Amino acid sequence: MPTYSALTTLDEKEAAEALAEAMENFEPEPVGVGVFEIEDGSGRYEVGCYFEEEPGDTELALMAVIYGAKPFTVSEVPETDWVAHVKRKLAPVEAGRFYVYGSHDADSVPEGRVALLIEAAMAFGTGHHGTTKGCLLALDRLDRAGFRGRNVADVGCGTAVLAMAAAEIWGLPVIASDIDPVAVEVARANAAANGLADRVICVEAAGFDHPALRARAPYDLVFANILKGPLLALAPDMAGGIGSGGYAILSGILTTQADEVAAAYKRAGFTLAARDELGDWATLVLRRV
């Protein structure tokens, strides 16, 4: 299945974030939207959107005009065996007890850390982004406070780093799902590379829409590191899928979006247990009443 990218640039961060938020409701619906500062000293920001259907030029041009962006550049992303060929040589990331690294840094793993090897990087979630790191820190804090997950899911798993982290510290099976088949392939490869193929169960699904996910409910911990729009839409299902006293760790949201997401989950039956910020990104820990 072809994937299409639509990229544009803006001069101001606030405008870029506003455009990214608006693109979450674009038709056809993007499977991913991101805002990135261009590292050329210009102070400009790039908004990138990814689609499974080719977006319309007229609609994209209108969005660019409304938000003062450069015209979108649309490209078809070539299909590639990302698990075999795409590897990021990124510096290791430390998040509490967790140490996320690539094979090129295998000799650097400190003693006493929970080491998570992440190689394929087509899917989001290497630990370098503030959203993934925020979720790892939240998991570490919950565990140190005495919480022990017995039934855990990672919805929108990307590389499955969060599912693997829970499976490692608690020695239990964790189900990991993603709407993107490439992400599911990456997740399986990462689980196997970490010796967790039997403990991280990877399925292709949107939200909880898979028989394996529904059969294991209710959960006592669910990760959802996705985007604001899908998180809001997922709130009722999250409430139905998490048992009383269970937790949801949510990220993929800007600090400016966190209050809206927290309010939606409060209406669905959650209380806010913690809110953390790393740069422009927020992580919410919510407890099911």
Written as tens digits, the pLDDT of the chain (289 aa) is: 678 999 999 999 999 999 999 999 999 999 888 888 876 677 889 999 999 899 999 999 999 999 999 999 998 876 655 444 444 445 678 899 999 887 777 787 888 899 999 864 444 555 556 788 999 999 999 999 999 999 999 999 988 999 999 999 999 999 999 988 888 988 999 999 999 999 999 999 988 989 999 999 999 999 999 888 889 999 999 999 999 999 999 998 889 899 999 999 999 999 999 999 988 889 999 999 9
Domain range spanning residue 55?
Answer: 3-77
* Of 85, 91, 122, 119, residue with least CA distance to 105: 91
Q: 248: burial class by Cβ within 10 Å (0-12, 13-18, 19+)?
A: buried
Strand 152-155 and strand 114-117: the pairing is: unpaired
Tell me which DSSP letter residue 67 carries: T
70 & 197 share domain? no
What is the reported pTM? 0.70
- End-of-domain residue from the set 77, 105, 136: 77
99 & 179 share domain? yes
20 & 145 share domain? no
Helix (H) or strand (E) run with residue 58 in it: helix 57-66
263 & 146 share domain? yes
- End-of-domain residue from the set 42, 77, 112: 77
Look at residue 84 and tell me if it is in a domain: no
247 & 147 share domain? yes
CATH for 24? 3.30.70.260
Q: Cα–Cα distance between 223 and 87 in angstroms, integer?
A: 25
Look at residue 83 and tell me if it is in a domain: no
Q: Cα–Cα distance between 21 and 64 in angstroms, integer?
A: 13
CATH for 101? 3.40.50.150
User: For residue 171, how many C-alpha atoms fall within 13 Å in the half-sphere facing its CB?
Assistant: 0
Q: Which residue has the tokens 């925020």?
A: 134
